[in-house]
Structure formats: C-alpha cells, structure tokens
C-alpha cells in the first residue's frame, strides 16, 4: 500500500493526526492493520466510523486525541496502596521535673559514697594493730601450741631418732583455709601440744618455701595440705591423714593417740609415760613400806585393761601416792546399778575405761585422773567434747550423773598456771 494512502486511512480510522499515523506505521513497516492494532493496544481509540472526507476535522480532533493519549495517568487499581499522610510531630517527656531531680540527687549521692573517705590527721595505728592481730591467728606464731622444729628435715629426723620420737609433718598451703584452721586451732591447743611434745618432733613449712617444695617433690602427698608422720630412722612416710579430720583439736588428739597405740619405735619411751611410770613405781615402793598406807589404796581398775604402751608392752597400772589415795574413789562392781563408765585419755596418750559411781562428785574424778598420772587434783584439767573444761562448766560438788558423763570421754592435760 502506498505510504500516503496508509497514513490517510490510519488517520481516518483512529482520528489522529498525520504525525501519529506516521509514528505507528513506521513501527509496522507501513502495514495498516498492525499499526491500528498497536494503537488500540496502547489505549488509543475513537474515530473508527469517521468518513474519509472528514479527514481535516479528524486531523483537528487528532490533536486532541494525541494530547489525551499521553496526559491522563492510568486509573488506580485495588492492588495499589494509597500513600498515607505523614505522622504528626509531637513532644513528650519520660519523667517529670521532680523525678529527674530525685534521680540526679541519688546519682550524686552514689558518686560521693564511692569516693574513699580519708580523715585528716587520722590515727591508723589501731587498724594496723587489729590487722596484725588477725594475721597472727593464722600464721602459727604466738605463745603456746606445738613448737616447730627450725632444723632442716634431715637434722630434724636425726634429733627425733635420738629422742625416740616420730616426726609429725604439716606442709602449710596458703590458699587452703583448712591449713589456716590447723595453725589457728589444732596446733595451738594445749592437749594436742602436750601430746605432740611427748611423742613427736613437729616440723611445719610453707608449701612455696624451699624446704616445703623439696618435701613435696620427695613425698607424693595424697591430700592438700599434707599432715603425716615420718619414721625418723628411715625417712619413710608411715601415715598420712586427710587434714579435715584434724580441724577439731579433740579429734586430732584422739587420732594421734590411736597412732601411738598402733605404731612403735624400738626403744621409744614417751617422756610423759616415763614420768607417770616413775611416779607409780615410787608410790608402789612407798606403799609396800607401810602396811597402813598399802591397805588404804583401793584397786583402780578391775574392768578394761589399759592400752598397750608405745613400745608394744602393756604398762602396769599406776598406783596413786598415799596422800591421794583417800581422795580416789574405788571402782564399783559392774553389777551395781549406779555405775558410770568413763573413757579416760591420759597425758601420755594411753586410754582406759574406768567405772565410777554416778553419785561420785567431780572432785573425786579430778583426784582419780590426777592420781592416774602421778599428779594432784589441782594439777590437771579435764576436757570433754567439744573442748569444754569441766572445771569451768560445773561445780566440784556436781555428781557425775548430773554432769552427764556416762559413756563419755575425758581428756587429761596439765593445768597451766
């Protein structure tokens, strides 16, 4: 088809101007029908029934149609959201002025309290004294208690071998609180100190010291801190205990006593035991020289036999001196009703079970315990668990039944002062 004719027909059908007709026909290579279809697909229209002679009017209308095809936007569909209006701006407070002021005051108070308060010309000597006194509770120093051997371990063992004693070792560990408790409570207890002094040479060192480190390298410890006994002749570790069982002094004394009953050093003689046996021998000789004094001495034990001595032989029961015999209560028969059994731990660590009457007084018990160790009633102190002194708890006229001593253990130690 001739291009000019196609343009005229396109304009007549669509009602557009010549420029629009040329535009669409150029895209379809002057094919009329595809150009008209393309125009209609893109939203064109109108003028389909316009006569050919009205081409001029159509051209005039085409100007309006061209403007209408480009200007109007497509209608809004249901799938499109409308743009919302902006949120109105406003001002608000999270807390009012009074609350803010309160918060500021609290924050300032907390800031002031965190500052160190140092008073001008303050006396710090009291605080330093208190700090030193608190530190001495755990450093093992101070009066009383077990005496630490200052010699090296080898020389300490040689000394113990000459004296016929065991070597009791404690390796102190700073980070273990139980080790501090041993220094503060156990090794400073009078009963434990008497027992250790009679049968052991006490050797304690810090774990981070040269001697402490050397000991830990030589002996493989099963517990921390180390508490054990060495044989002074060979250096062999004879016994090691869990340090927790030594926290209570009474328990520690009982454990050490049991050790002495089960182990012996050849030729070892506990000085306290030796002194008790010498006193018993002197009393026996004095009693045999006087029949009246001999008849006044009652039997001390017809029940349980005394524990074996440290050197493996059962020592003879000590006989009280004649001047103490009248004060010592006789031992009742087991068939009697008013019978109280008391376990007595002597100064040398030996144990015995003694029957007394519940109606006997504490004064009689003190006389009995003193006589068993060759001492007077005023020279001994009796302790019952937990480390309670009978002399401070009851009157001397209190009966043993009223004191509740039936089937209890009484530990003897020498009264200080």
Position 330 in a domain: no
Task: Write down the pLDDT at residue 275.
Answer: 57
Of 159, 278, 178, nearest in space to 227 by CA: 178
Q: What is the DSSP letter of 65?
A: H
> 355 and 257, same structural domain?
no
Q: Which of 239, 268, 297 is the last residue of a domain?
A: 268
Angle formed by the axes of helices 190-199 and 249-262, nearest 10°? 20
Buried b (16+ CB within 10 A) or exposed e, 343-365: ebbbbbbbbbbbbbbbebbbebb
User: What's the whole-model pTM score?
Assistant: 0.38
Position 306 in a domain: no
Query: Average pLDDT, whole number, for the chain?
Result: 75
Position 14 in a domain: yes
Q: How many residues does the chain have?
A: 417
Position 70 in a domain: no
Q: Which of 268, 291, 308 is the last residue of a domain?
A: 268
Task: Write down the pLDDT at residue 184.
Answer: 86
**Which residue is it, tokens 């009248």?**
326
Task: Write down the pLDDT at residue 323.
Answer: 44
- Strand 226-230 versus strand 166-172 pairing type: antiparallel
**Which residue is it, tokens 């109007």?**
72
What domain count does the chain have?
Answer: 3
Query: Domain range spanning residue 226?
Result: 148-268
> 255 and 343, same structural domain?
no
Task: Write down the pLDDT at residue 281.
Answer: 63
> 254 and 343, same structural domain?
no
> 255 and 161, same structural domain?
yes
Position 325 in a domain: no
Task: Write down the pLDDT at residue 179.
Answer: 87
Here the CATH number for the domain that contains residue 241 is 3.40.30.10
Angle formed by the axes of helices 32-41 and 18-27, nearest 10°? 110
Rg (CA), the chain: 55
**Residue pair 310/199 in contact by the 8 Å Cβ criterion:** yes
Tens digits of per-residue pLDDT, 278-330?
666 666 565 555 444 444 444 443 333 444 444 444 445 454 444 444 467 77
> 261 and 158, same structural domain?
yes
> 255 and 349, same structural domain?
no
Beta partners for residue 412, in sequence order: 382
- Strand 200-206 versus strand 351-357 pairing type: unpaired
Of 206, 199, 172, 166, nearest in space to 186 by CA: 172
Of 47, 87, 86, 92, nearest in space to 66 by CA: 47
Q: Which residues in 11-165 belong to E strands, given as ranges?
A: none
> 344 and 254, same structural domain?
no
Here the CATH number for the domain that contains residue 394 is 3.10.20.90
Task: Write down the pLDDT at residue 32.
Answer: 87
Position 296 in a domain: no
Buried b (16+ CB within 10 A) or exposed e, 99-123: eeeeeeeeeeeeeeeeeeeeeeeee
**Residue pair 21/10 in contact by the 8 Å Cβ criterion:** yes
> 246 and 155, same structural domain?
yes
Task: Write down the pLDDT at residue 72.
Answer: 55
> 261 and 170, same structural domain?
yes
Beta partners for residue 414, in sequence order: 380
Say whether 59 sits in a helix, a strand or coil: helix
Query: Within 13 Å and on the Cβ side, how many CA atoms surround 212?
Result: 15
Query: pLDDT tens per residue, the chain (417 residues)?
Result: 688 888 888 888 888 888 988 898 888 888 888 888 889 888 765 443 333 334 344 444 444 444 444 555 555 555 567 788 888 887 776 666 677 788 888 888 888 777 666 555 556 565 566 555 544 544 545 445 788 999 999 999 999 999 999 999 999 988 888 888 888 888 888 888 888 988 899 999 998 899 988 898 888 878 888 999 999 999 899 999 998 989 888 888 889 988 988 888 764 455 555 555 566 666 656 555 544 444 444 444 333 344 444 444 444 545 444 444 446 777 888 778 888 888 888 888 788 888 888 888 888 888 888 888 888 888 888 888 766 788 888 888 899 888 888 878 888 888 776
Task: Write down the pLDDT at residue 303.
Answer: 39
Task: Write down the pLDDT at residue 69.
Answer: 47
> 368 and 259, same structural domain?
no
């Amino acid at each position: 088809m001739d291009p000019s004719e196609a343009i005229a027909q396109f304009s007549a059908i669509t009602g557009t101007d010549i420029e629009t007709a040329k535009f669409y026909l150029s895209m379809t290579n002057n094919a009329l029908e595809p150009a008209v279809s393309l125009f209609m697909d893109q939203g064109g229209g109108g003028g389909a029934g316009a006569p050919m002679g009205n081409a001029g009017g159509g051209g005039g209308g085409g100007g309006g149609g061209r403007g209408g095809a480009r200007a109007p936007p497509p209608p809004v569909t249901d799938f499109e959201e409308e743009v919302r209006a902006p949120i109105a701006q406003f001002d608000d407070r999270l807390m009012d002025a009074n609350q803010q002021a309160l918060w500021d005051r609290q924050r300032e108070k907390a800031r002031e309290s965190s500052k160190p308060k140092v008073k001008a010309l303050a006396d710090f000597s009291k605080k330093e004294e208190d700090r030193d006194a608190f530190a001495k509770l755990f450093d093992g120093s101070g009066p009383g208690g077990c005496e630490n051997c200052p010699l090296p371990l080898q020389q300490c063992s040689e000394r113990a071998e000459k004296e016929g004693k065991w070597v009791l070792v404690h390796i102190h560990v700073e980070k273990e609180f139980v080790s501090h408790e041993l220094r503060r409570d156990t090794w400073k207890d009078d009963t434990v100190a008497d027992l250790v002094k009679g049968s052991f040479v006490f050797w304690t060192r810090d774990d981070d010291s040269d001697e402490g480190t050397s000991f830990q390298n030589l002996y493989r410890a099963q517990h921390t801190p180390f508490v054990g006994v060495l044989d002074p002749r060979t250096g062999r570790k004879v016994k090691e205990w869990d340090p927790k069982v030594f926290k209570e002094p009474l328990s520690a004394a009982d454990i050490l006593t049991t050790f002495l009953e089960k182990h012996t050093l050849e030729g070892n003689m506990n000085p306290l035991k030796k002194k008790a046996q010498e006193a018993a021998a002197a009393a026996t000789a004095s009693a045999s020289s006087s029949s009246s004094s001999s008849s006044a001495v009652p039997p001390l034990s017809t029940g349980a036999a005394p524990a074996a001595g440290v050197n493996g032989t059962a020592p003879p029961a000590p006989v009280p001196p004649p001047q103490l015999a009248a004060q010592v209560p006789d031992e009742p028969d087991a068939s009697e009703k008013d019978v109280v059994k008391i376990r007595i731990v002597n100064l040398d660590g030996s144990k015995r079970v003694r029957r007394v009457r519940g109606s006997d007084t504490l004064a009689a018990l003190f006389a009995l315990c003193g006589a068993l160790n060759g001492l007077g009633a005023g020279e001994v102190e009796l302790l019952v668990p937990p480390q309670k002194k009978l002399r401070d708890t009851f009157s001397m006229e209190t009966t043993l039944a009223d004191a509740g001593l039936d089937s209890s253990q009484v530990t003897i130690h020498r009264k200080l002062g």
